[in-house]
Amino acid sequence: MLITICNFNYYGMDKRIIAVAKRLKELRIEKGYSSYEVFAWENDIPRIQYWRMEKGTNFTIKTLLRILDVHKISLSEFFMDLK
């Protein structure tokens, strides 16, 4: 199945990873950041690393936890709405 969002091809990716990536993007936008670059810069997260996470590649739990800390939400809150 081919899923394309904002010119990024999610072909062959696990749907759960896509859901996590989309949720990260939603949280960023809810926080008022239209640009992932500004969000990454202001929260001291390497820009490319954060971009990869929003695209569903190169995840580490450590970085995910760091991003959740910025948003002040727990792992259980983050995963609660994901299916």
For 14-39, the pLDDT digits (tens) are 888 899 999 999 999 999 999 999 99
- Rounded average pLDDT over 37-65: 92
DSSP for the chain, please give it.
---EETTEE-TT--HHHHHHHHHHHHHHHHTT-S-HHHHHHHTT--HHHHHHHHHT-S--HHHHHHHHHHHT--HHHHHHT--
Which residues does 54 contact at the CB level (< 8 Å), separation at least 6? 21, 24, 25, 28, 36
| pTM summary value | 0.82
* CATH class for the region spanning 14-80: mainly alpha
